[in-house]
Chain A
Amino acid sequence: MKIINSDTHIDFMGKIKMALAISGILILVGMGSVIFSGGLKYGIDFSGGTLIQLQFKTAPNIDEIRDGLKSVGLGESTIQEFGSKRDILIRVQRSEEKLEAVGSKVRDSLGAKFNKEDITVARVEMVGPKVGRDLREKAMLSIVYAIIGIVLYISWRFELQYAIAAIIALVHDVLVTMGAFSLLDKEFTLVIVAAFLTIIGYSLNDTIVVFDRIRENLRRKGKNTLEDIINASINQTLSRTLLTSGTTLLVVIALFLFGGEIIHDFSFALLVGVIIGTYSSIFIASVFLVYWHSRKTA
């Protein structure tokens, strides 16, 4: 069985300009949205605060919840439905120092409006502001160190320009996905960082496979230009690229559709990331190789 012809000759390099334009627009719109909304929307993992998920027996009126909450004086809070009308998510940005009792306090405060027995506290997450900052810094640092390690390995196995190209491709993927998050007003949490790490891993894997073929074809290049070689390499690995992306997407789509509310943002990030990761290893990574080459020969 074959999905695509084994002998394709698509001129990928000829479409570089279009690809650059698309990527440029995606990143500009995404980053514009990040800047416009005043930075990424951090979840409580990174900003500190408290998150309370309540389950009601019957769908409550959100305004009544808001009124009830006022009596506890928790400071600024947002209230939203989470998956169903009976599940309510309350976020309190920053409140008093002792946050231990917030869950039951909220439940008690709603006692006047609702029957207390009808409310279950499904989860409470509390992160001190200092820990939030720490987690943010550590997550960033670990990603930076990981990228340094990758650059060293790829420069050793291939050449420096391949390492830089691979990094550009993965930064591209992360930026586009981040932009999508910002546009859809989704929150940035530790779990989302894990999703981004997965995207990075996936993007790298894809890029290396294409690079490996380029490296192999360069050894017997004859009179072909670098563009020709890259084109041939992408075409030769195309069926593999589509097959692998397709199978991974099957799993991610299943997770997106059936994974439930808590996983939703997470699987959304993976979904966007896998698609963008495949696209970037075909177009973005090789663009840089060609650019580097043309600069050296010019």
Chain B
Amino acid sequence: MDRIKAIHDGQKINIRMVDTLDLPPVKKVLESYSFLSLSGEDSDGLGLVYQMSADQIKQIEENAVSQGLETIRNRVDQFGVSEPTIQAQGVRRILVQLPGVKDPERAINLIGKTARLEFKLLDEENSLQTALAGNVPEDSEILYQRVENKETGEVTKEPFLLKKRAVLTGETLTGAEIRFDTDFNEPYVALNFNSVGAMIFQQVTRENIKKRLAIVLDSNVYSAPVIQDEIPGGRAQITGRFTSEEARDLAIILRAGALPAPVVILENRTVGPSLGKDSIEKGITSIIYGGVLVVIFIALYYKLSGIIAVTALSLNIVLLAGALAYFGAALTLPGIAGIILTVGMAIDANVLVFERIREEIRIGKTVRAAIDAGFSKAFRTIVDANITTFIAAVVLFQFGTGPIKGFAITLCIGIAASMFTAVFVSRVIFDLTMNQRKLDKLSI
């Protein structure tokens, strides 16, 4: 019989004891956990109620995400994916991108397993039959072992009645690796515990000889061998008719540690290598076709000035591409949308300036004065139009998700680049040409 029992109930933890003498030491121990505050005592002197504040729960949740991130990163690193992206999204979500992975199901299994490893003694005092009939003893639980018939693919579930309390958990693991059984050449996972774990394991095995100890991973029983003898040295193994791939992945997961909380796969997008590249490449090629047409048209329409505009536009695209590469942004469809809008606005800025200059020349201004007036009058229009769009882009970046964010960041960079090139760079080129030769006719 356990002398002390803790029951978790929402934000509260109820602790019940058998002996009033235990109360002071328990209180003392729990005082050292700063995240718990004593919120009540049972009148019989045998119970304590502890509580966590909302802040602390929030902090634990945040920690769970950052720890989860760390654990998943460890697992992915050991799995061996080149250039993975693993990032937190919002408060409780994690985005994992694994380019080049051929078997997405295996990757999902690797990432999604909580990997909570527990060793639990079988409850051999009570009958499994009665428990299955719905009469589960308070301190015990029923967990299942999945047995798959490799030939027929049929899965059966074998029930076990286990003590709820784990005698040892994966926290004391120092290593896990795949080994092969010498007799049947079957793979299994060999475990190593640290000194604390080894000590507990030795004690548990000594005290429970001839009893069965179940190895439980994420509430699935993997095996439940009979303890033959005391086991010193902190070694154990998980067997379970693994393929070598499964055993290798399991070892990785155990080495990388358990996730602090279970994860649920919310979204999964797998794009075949040829398809993903294809659609983006096709998009880019067609934009280039369109772009070349635009360049030819602008050069024909505005002649020398058009060529200046095209130069500024090329610089704009170089800046945009550079910035996107710097931020490590992958080129996606929404990104392409952002580029189209940016290029459109950059051309528009040039067109606005040139049309203004033409207007000024028409009302009889000199070339020099027309350029000055054209740039300064169009400048205000360009600024207003660009800032309005920029505001929208910033808001979308702040509140948008995934693809919308990609669109927004491309647009933000693009607007900054096009303001610089269309207003400043074109102007500098104009001025330089003007200074070199005194033009009384402008090629526009």
Contacts and interface: CB of A to CB of B under 8 A. Distances in A.
Interface of A: 1, 3, 6, 53, 99-101, 103-104, 120-128, 130-131, 135, 138-139, 141-143, 145-147, 149-150, 153-154, 157, 190-191, 193-195, 197-198, 200-202, 204-205, 208-209, 212-213, 216, 236-237, 239-240, 243-244, 246-248, 250-255, 257-263, 266, 270
B411 A153 contact: no
Q: How large is the interface on B (under 10, 10 to 19, 20 to 34, 35 or more residues)?
A: 35 or more
Given A138-B400, A212-B380, A124 B104 contact: yes
B268 A240 contact: no
Contact of A150 (B105, B279, B343, B392): B392
A168 B112 CA distance: 47
Nearest to A254: B290
A142 B399 contact: yes
Contacts of B355: 237, 239-240, 243
Contacts of B276: 123
B340 A194 contact: no
Contacts of A201: 341, 345, 389, 392-393, 411
Nearest to B348: A244
Contacts of A251: 287, 290-291, 293-294, 340, 343-344
Given A138-B399, A145-B399, A124 B391 contact: no
A128 B351 contact: no
B333 interface: yes
B441 interface: no
Contacts of A121: 270, 272
Given A200-B392, A259-B283, A260-B278, 18 more contacts: A1-B300, A1-B303, A99-B265, A104-B105, A131-B267, A138-B400, A142-B395, A157-B384, A193-B403, A194-B337, A202-B344, A205-B348, A247-B347, A251-B340, A255-B290, A262-B333, A263-B283, A263-B333
Residue of A149, A200, A253 with highest tally of chain B CB at under 10 A:
A149
A200 B400 CA distance: 15
Nearest to B339: A251
Q: Secondary structure of the A side of the interface?
A: helix
Contacts of A248: 340, 344, 347
Q: Secondary structure of the B side of the interface?
A: helix
Residue of B264, B300, B386, B389 with highest tally of chain A CB at under 10 A:
B389
Contact of B392 (A204, A213, A262): A204
Contacts of B188: none
Nearest to A50: B268
Contact of B298 (A142, A247, A263): A247
B334 interface: yes
Contact of B267 (A126, A142, A193, A258): A126
A255 B297 contact: no
Nearest to A148: B395
B64 interface: no
